[in-house]
């Protein structure tokens, strides 16, 4: 589904990713862990097509297409979802409006009819119920005044409604209390643990991985993957720290 080969990227002319390779198949959940400043968020920004992140070498294909050649909205329409460490607030635009616009833009790019207001609300209600979310939250402006936990729950509803093929979630667990962590974990499992979907979970800590069991764990240090393994690698990292494992 996703194939990253020898990816090099710079931010403000500073090399950050230095030969990163990673392959993710449908049905798999991968976790990337690593010390602060390793380039984890840079990887998610590069995959999302954020301006200012320049790829200087290497390739990325998504479902066989050249991802780096696609505009950010084309990446989303192709089924890529990005969850961010710090979700943006959009005053004056309700979640319902925002999500309906986003979903319909993606449907249009796929040659599908837009959903009407009624059809969209029915879908939103279904997804909110599935994730045990409050519909009232969906009527509020996007993320405005939401607590850290609410933003992450909201991100799960966004993901449920947009129904991506591949979700890249950057530190979705940061700042969450135990209940919110469980909700997010359940959300990821409910929406994304399917044979035709895949997840790349970027996380600092092992704790989210207690709820979402990864198939593969990778250590990212200084811009490349320095070690890969199974779920046990996350526990080793937690016990021994990055310095020893990545050395
Ligand atoms: P991580 O998510 O693993 O903590 P990041 O990808 O956020 O790491 O950052 C990797 C490195 O890139 C850090 O050294 C950071 O300071 C640097 N960096 C990120 N954004 C910029 C920027 N806009 N200008 C200069 N350096 C940056
Ligand atoms: Mg960081
Ligand atoms: Mg980061």
pLDDT in the model for residue 237: 87
DSSP 165: S
Is position 132 within any domain?
A: yes
pLDDT in the model for residue 188: 93
* Residue owning the nearest CA to atom 21 of ligand 1: 11
Question: ipTM, 2 decimals?
Answer: 0.94
In 23-35, which positions are buried (b, 16+ CB within 10 angstroms) versus exposed (e)?
ebeeebbbbbbbb
* Residue owning the nearest CA to atom 14 of ligand 1: 37
Is position 77 within any domain?
A: yes
Q: Measured at the alpha carbon of residue 141, what is the angle toward residues 101 and 115, in degrees to the nearest 5?
A: 25
Q: Is 68 helix (H, G, I), strand (E, B) or coil?
A: helix
CA–centroid distance, residue 41 to ligand 1 (Å): 7
Is position 50 within any domain?
A: yes
Q: Measured at the alpha carbon of residue 92, what is the angle toward residues 89 and 95, in degrees to the nearest 5?
A: 65
| Domains in the chain, number | 1
pLDDT in the model for residue 247: 58
CATH number at residue 72: 3.40.50.300
H helix and E strand count, the chain: 9, 12
Is position 166 within any domain?
A: yes
Q: Is 32 in the pocket of ligand 1 (CB under 6 A)?
A: no
Is position 247 within any domain?
A: no
Query: Which atom number of ligand 1 is nearest to the Cα of residue 34?
Result: 3
* Regions of the chain with pLDDT less than 50: none
Of 7, 14, 53, 204, the one to substitute when testing ligand 1's pocket (max ligand atoms within 8 A of C-beta) is 14
Query: Which atom number of ligand 1 is nearest to the Cα of residue 38?
Result: 3
* Residue owning the nearest CA to atom 20 of ligand 1: 11
Q: Is 203 in the pocket of ligand 1 (CB under 6 A)?
A: no
Q: Is 16 in the pocket of ligand 1 (CB under 6 A)?
A: yes
Is position 246 within any domain?
A: no
Q: Measured in whole angstroms, how far is the alpha carbon of residue 9 from the centre of its chain?
A: 19
Is position 72 within any domain?
A: yes
The domain of 174 spans 2-240
Q: Is 19 helix (H, G, I), strand (E, B) or coil?
A: strand
pLDDT in the model for residue 85: 62
Contact 68, 17 (CB under 8 A): no
Q: Rounded distance, CA 128 to CA 158, Å?
A: 10
CB 241: neighbour CB atoms within 10 A?
Answer: 11
pLDDT in the model for residue 128: 86
Q: Rounded distance, CA 62 to CA 15, Å?
A: 23
pLDDT in the model for residue 180: 80
Q: Is 39 in the pocket of ligand 1 (CB under 6 A)?
A: yes
Q: How far is CA 35 from CA 4, 15, 138, 205, 232, in A?
A: 21, 17, 34, 10, 18
Residue 84: nearest ligand to its CA? 3
Is position 116 within any domain?
A: yes
Q: Is 86 in the pocket of ligand 1 (CB under 6 A)?
A: no
């Amino acid at each position: 589904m996703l194939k990253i080969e020898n990816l090099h990227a710079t931010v403000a002319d500073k090399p950050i990713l230095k030969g990163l390779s990673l392959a993710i198949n449908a049905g798999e959940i991968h976790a990337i862990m690593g010390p602060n400043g390793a380039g984890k968020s840079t990887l998610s920004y590069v995959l999302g097509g954020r301006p200012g992140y320049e790829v200087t070498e290497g390739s990325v294909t998504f479902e066989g297409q050249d991802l780096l050649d696609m505009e950010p909205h084309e990446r989303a329409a192709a089924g890529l979802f990005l969850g961010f460490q710090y979700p943006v607030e959009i005053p004056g635009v309700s979640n319902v409006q925002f999500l309906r616009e986003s979903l319909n833009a993606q449907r249009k790019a796929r040659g599908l009819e837009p959903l009407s207001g009624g059809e969209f609300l029915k879908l939103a209600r279904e997804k909110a119920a599935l994730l045990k979310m409050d519909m009232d939250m969906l009527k509020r402006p996007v993320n405005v005044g939401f607590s850290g936990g609410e933003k992450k729950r909201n991100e799960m509803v966004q993901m449920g409604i947009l129904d991506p093929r591949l979700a890249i979630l950057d530190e979705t667990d940061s700042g969450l209390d135990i209940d919110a962590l469980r909700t997010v974990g359940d959300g990821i499992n409910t929406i994304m643990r399917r044979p035709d979907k895949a997840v790349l979970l970027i996380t600092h800590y092992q704790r989210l991985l207690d709820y979402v069991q990864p198939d593969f764990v990778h250590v990212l240090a200084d811009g490349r993957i320095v070690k890969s393994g199974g779920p046990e690698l996350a526990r080793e990292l937690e016990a021994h720290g990055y310095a020893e494992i990545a050395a």
